[in-house]
Chains A and B, each alone.
Chain A
Amino acid sequence: MKPTHISRRQFAALAGTVAAASLPMRSATPPTAQAVVDKLQAALGGEWPATGVEGFKAGDPNSPVKGIATTAMATMEVLKQAVKANANLVITYEPTFFGRADGPPKPAPAPPAGAAPGRGGRGGGGFGGISPDDPVYKGKKEFIEKNGLVVYRLFDHWKSRKEGEMVTGLADALGWSKGRVKPDDVLYEIPSASYEDLVAQIKKKLNLNGGLRAVGDRKSTIRKVMLCPGTMAPDLIYRRYAEADLMIAGEVREWENTFFAADIVAAGEKHGLITLGRVASEDPGMRACAAWLKTVVKDVPAQFIAAGDLYWRAV
C-alpha cells in the first residue's frame, strides 16, 4: 500500500467532518415522552381514543427522553436492558401489566340514572386487571419509576399500518423479503426447503427457545408460506390453506386452527401450520418500528430490544 501523506491540519478537518456527519442533530433540550408520542401519533394518523389499549402505562410522560426502545413486550428483562442502553422511553406492542387492562382495575364509570345494573366491579372492558398490591405488579412499577422509565403501548395503529411492518418485519427477519407474492398480502414464495429443515432455520433466525410448535408432514417440501405474526385470524386457514405449503402464525386457538391443520394431515394433504409464539412472532415487527421511528423522531436515538421466546420445553 502506498502511504499517503496527510497533514495534521487536513486530518483534523476530515475527522471533524466525519464526526459531525455521523451524529444526529440534537436539540439543546431533549423532547418529553409526550412530545415524542405526539409526533409518533401524528405520523401514524387516525384517531387515538383514550379508551383504547394504546397509551402511557407507567412513568411520567413529561420526562425528557434520552433514548427510545421498541419491543414486542415490555418484560422486566426488556426494561432492565433499556436502562442499560440509556433508553428511557419504552414502546411496547403488548401489555406491560399482565393483561389487556394493563394495570389495576379502573373505577367503573358511574351508570346513567335509571340504568339497569351492569356487571360492575370490572374495569378494562371486562378484563379485570391486577391488584395494586400484587408484588409482581408493585415490583415492576417500582423498577420503572426508580429508573425513570416511561412505558407507552403502541398496538392497533402499528398493527393496522398500511405498510404492514408486522408482516414485512417478520419476512425480513427470516430473509424472505423479496418473496412477497403481491403487495399487502401475507403470501410469500421462499427458497424451497424441507419442512424439517425450515423449522430449524426459523428457530435459528428468530433465536427461538421452546415456544415453536409444528403440525404437518415434516418431510414435505415448503415453497409458499403465509406469515401471520400475532394471533392469526381463525378463518384465514379455512379460506386460504390450499394456496400455501405452510402457515406461520404467532398463536392460534387449538380447537379452531391447530386441529384444522391436524385434519389436513389426516386427509392426506400436505399443508402445515407453525405457531412461533405470539410475542416471539411480534418482535421482528417491533424491530421495524424502531427503524421507522428513526425517520420520524430524529432528535433522540431509537433501538429495538427483543422480548424473545420465554418458553422452554420439558425434556
Chain B
Amino acid sequence: MKVREVIDLIKQNAGIVWPDRSFRDTLKTGDPEAEVKGIATTMMATFDMLKRANQAGLNMIITHEDTWWNDRDETKDLLTNPLYLKKADFINKNGLNIWRNHDSTHAMKVDITVTGTLRAIGVKGGENASMRPGILPIPEMTLGEFASQAKRLSGIRHIRVVGDPKQKVSKVLDGPGYATPRFTLDTDVVVGGESQEADGGFDNVEYVADANSLGIHKGLVMLGHVVSEQPGHDDYAKWLQTFIKGVPIQYVAAEEPFWV
C-alpha cells in the first residue's frame, strides 16, 4: 500500500467533511507514492520518536503536532540550522513519510485526543466526547488527590497545579493541548495541556489563584501540551487497523521531555 492510499482511506473513514484547505493536515516529508512498510501514530514526530519508529520498521508516521517546530512546518528559515539538517538527514536517509492528522482528528465526532486523556487520568463519562467534552462529574476527592491520581494513572511526570491541594473537587472540565478551556465557575477543576500564562485571551492561572484568595475554591491542572493529547493516539492506531490491512500499525509515543 502507498502513502497516498493510506491518507485516502483515512479521509474516507473519518466521517467528516475533510478539511481540504488545512495547512496542517498535509504530507510533511516523503513521497505519496512510497510503499508503506508500517505506520506509527504519535502525538509528535520528535527526533527521538522518529528513531524509535524507524527501528520498529515503520516508515509512515502519522503525527498530530508539527515536525519542524512551527505550526505551519515552514522550513525556509531553517535550511542552514544544524539541528534541522540532522533531523532532515535522518528522515531522508531512512525514507520516512510524515503526515499530520491535526485538524481532521479534532473535527471527528469522537476526538481521541480528548477521550484518550480523560481515560488516562481516570475521569469517566468522556468515552465518546468531542473536542469540547463539557463538565464531567468525578467521585469527590481533594485537588491534591485528583492531581496525584492523574499523575499515577497517566504516567505524566511533571504536572503543574494551581489551587489549594486540600479543597474538595467533584467536577472536571478538560481541553486538549493549547485548547485549555477558559475557566468557568460551574466546574471545580480545569484540566488542560498548555496555555500562555498571562496577558492572553483568558489567564486561568491568575484567575484560579485569585478565586482561592477570595474563598472560591477552584483548581487548575496543567498536564503539558504533548502529553495532554497523546494517549488517544493508541486509539487512533487501533482505529486505523479496522480499515487498513496488511501493514503493521502501532502507537509510538513522543517522549515527555521534562526531567523532574
What is the chain A residue whose CB lies nearest that of B156?
Answer: A314
Q: Is the CB of A75 within 8 A of B210?
A: yes
Counting chain A CB atoms within 10 Å of each CB, which of B44, B83, B144, B210 scores highest?
Answer: B210
Residues of A within 8 A of B199 (CB): 53, 94-95, 99-100, 155
**When each residue 63-106 of chain B gets 1 if its CB lies under 8 Å from chain A and 0 otherwise, what string results?**
00110011100000110011100110000000000000000000
A279 within 8 A of partner (CB): yes
18 A-B pairs whose Cβ atoms sit less than 8 Å apart in the complex = A73-B198, A76-B213, A94-B203, A99-B202, A100-B201, A136-B185, A253-B194, A254-B224, A254-B226, A259-B46, A262-B46, A262-B47, A262-B257, A263-B46, A263-B83, A267-B83, A314-B159, A315-B147
Q: Complex Cα distance A313/B161, Å?
A: 6
Q: Complex Cα distance A139/B185, Å?
A: 14
Q: Is the CB of B206 within 8 A of A210?
A: no
Q: Is the CB of B69 within 8 A of A238?
A: yes
A242 within 8 A of partner (CB): yes
Q: Complex Cα distance A261/B258, Å?
A: 10
A135 within 8 A of partner (CB): yes
Least CB distance, B212 to chain A, in whole angstroms:
8
B18 within 8 A of partner (CB): no
What is the chain A residue whose CB lies nearest that of B158?
Answer: A213
What is the chain A residue whose CB lies nearest that of B210?
Answer: A76
Given contacts A99-B200, A251-B197, contact A260 B69 (CB under 8 A): yes
Residues of B within 8 A of A265 (CB): 48, 257
Residues of B within 8 A of A77 (CB): 209, 213
Q: Complex Cα distance A155/B198, Å?
A: 12
Residues of B within 8 A of A238 (CB): 69, 77-78, 81
**When each residue 166-186 of chain B gets 1 if its CB lies under 8 Å from chain A and 0 otherwise, what string results?**
000000000000100000010
Least CB distance, B100 to chain A, in whole angstroms:
11
Q: Complex Cα distance A99/B77, Å?
A: 32
Q: Complex Cα distance A313/B78, Å?
A: 35
Q: Is the CB of A255 within 8 A of B160?
A: no
**When each residue 24-49 of chain A gets 1 if its CB lies under 8 Å from chain B and 0 otherwise, what string results?**
00000000000000000000000000
A203 within 8 A of partner (CB): no
What is the chain B residue whose CB lies nearest that of A199?
Answer: B259
Q: Complex Cα distance A251/B178, Å?
A: 14
Q: Complex Cα distance A251/B71, Å?
A: 17
What is the chain A residue whose CB lies nearest that of B164?
Answer: A312
B211 within 8 A of partner (CB): yes
Q: Is the CB of B69 within 8 A of A257?
A: yes
Given contacts A277-B197, A314-B161, contact A215 B225 (CB under 8 A): no
Q: Complex Cα distance A213/B197, Å?
A: 14
Q: Is the CB of A136 within 8 A of B257?
A: no
Q: Complex Cα distance A265/B225, Å?
A: 19
Q: Is the CB of A128 within 8 A of B201?
A: yes
CB within 8 Å of B: which A70-117 residues: 73, 75-77, 80, 94-95, 98-100
A255 interface neighbour in B44, B150, B204, Cβ under 8 Å: B44
Residues of A within 8 A of B213 (CB): 75-77, 80
**When each residue 272-315 of chain A gets 1 if its CB lies under 8 Å from chain B and 0 otherwise, what string results?**
00000111000000000000000000000000000000111111
Least CB distance, A285 to chain B, in whole angstroms:
14
B248 within 8 A of partner (CB): no
A259 interface neighbour in B144, B216, B226, B259, Cβ under 8 Å: B226
What is the chain A residue whose CB lies nearest that of B225?
Answer: A254
Q: Is the CB of B77 within 8 A of A255?
A: no
**When each residue 206-234 of chain A gets 1 if its CB lies under 8 Å from chain B and 0 otherwise, what string results?**
00001101111010000000000001001
What is the chain A residue whose CB lies nearest that of B223?
Answer: A314
A269 within 8 A of partner (CB): yes
